[in-house]
Amino acid sequence: MGTVAHRIADELASLPKNEDITKAYCTRWGGVLNVDGVYVKIKGLPKAIPFIYGIDFETHDIPAGILALAENEAAFERLFLMLKRIGYPLRLVVADEAPALKGPLLQAFPKAEVQLCQVHLMRNVRTMLHLSLRDATHLPFFRALQKLFALSGEAARQSCLQELRAYERVELYGDALRMATDRWDDLFRHEGMWKQGFRCPKTNNLIEGYNAHFKARVDAIKGFESLSSASRWLNGWMLKRRFTPFHECGKPFKHLNGHASFEKSRDPRLPWPEIFGLSPPEKPTRK
């Protein structure tokens, strides 16, 4: 390892743990958490393993994340117990799928709910139907299902669902429709949150945007030498994201531009943490 690499490794090792920063400084959370896993390569392991983390939808801040050997119940138990320990007020998790997530979630946060990503489900339906630019055989059914997800209110959706039942005569369409009906309640939790006054997405698009940035950085590294080196880098990545101001947020989050996500979750009564390489925001100069 060269001198520069040694210096970078030392700097990463000197950083505080991301979850400890959350516990010590952050109190202003929305409680709606986008959760996903993105995979990294570790030298000596036969396959890539997941880095599972969450983004608070209201603040876009990252309270916690873990490196795990698989996206299984044990991994989600670690994540949710960590969130509970650091005081994150989890009300709802937005996720692509929930089989391994729901049990650990309810053990740590018995009143929490799940909103499944509607875009993820429709991608799975598109794959099942083999839709493509060259083959639009099943496009009418797909469009009809899209219409259902565009509706507001349970009564309107149930009416649309009854119309869709006519497609069940085709086995493939019946299977696709059951993908939605088997997950029905968890696909529309967002409306209940809206009625309670909380911002809540019906997709995982927010964290997928973060994932794209993450993958670009990790691909440049081409993997990690060890689990410990990966954990240090991932911790540094979370902190860097939290302390870097936004510049390209669109509606309804334009108010975040010019601010770091940590600014939004931090208790304003507390001093800015002293972290190597991460400076407090510049105060505007008076003219």
Q: What are the extents of the domains in the chain? A: 3-117+203-265, 118-184
Could you tell me the pTM of the whole model? 0.92
Domain 3-117+203-265 = CATH 3.30.450.40: no
Average pLDDT in the 27-36 region?
A: 97
pLDDT digit string (tens) for 100-141? 999 999 999 999 999 999 999 999 999 999 998 888 899 999
Please say whether the beta carbons of 53 and 33 come within 8 A.
no
pLDDT exceeds 70 at position 230: yes
pLDDT exceeds 70 at position 7: no
pLDDT exceeds 90 at position 12: no
Please say whether the beta carbons of 67 and 41 come within 8 A.
no
Lowest mean pLDDT among 40-44, 174-178, 266-270, 274-278: 274-278
Q: What is the DSSP string of 144-185?
A: HHHHHHH--SHHHHHHHHHHHGGGGGSHHHHHHHHHHHTTHH
pLDDT digit string (tens) for 50-104? 999 999 999 999 999 999 999 999 999 999 999 999 999 999 999 998 789 999 9
Q: For residue 227, what pLDDT is reported?
A: 95
For 6-10, which contacts have Cβ atoms below 8 Å and span 24 or more sequence positions? 9/229, 9/232
CA distance 10 to 20: 19
- Residues near 143 by beta carbon (within 8 Å), at least 6 away in sequence: none
The tokens describing 204, both together, are 């995982």
% the chain with pLDDT above 70: 94
pLDDT digit string (tens) for 204-215? 999 999 999 899
Q: How far is CA 52 from the centre of its chain?
A: 9
Write down the mean pLDDT value for the chain.
92
Q: How far is CA 145 from the centre of its chain?
A: 25
The tally of CA atoms less than 13 A away on the side-chain side of residue 12 is: 17
Nearest CA to 33 among 19, 18, 53, 54?
Answer: 54
Q: For residue 183, what pLDDT is reported?
A: 95
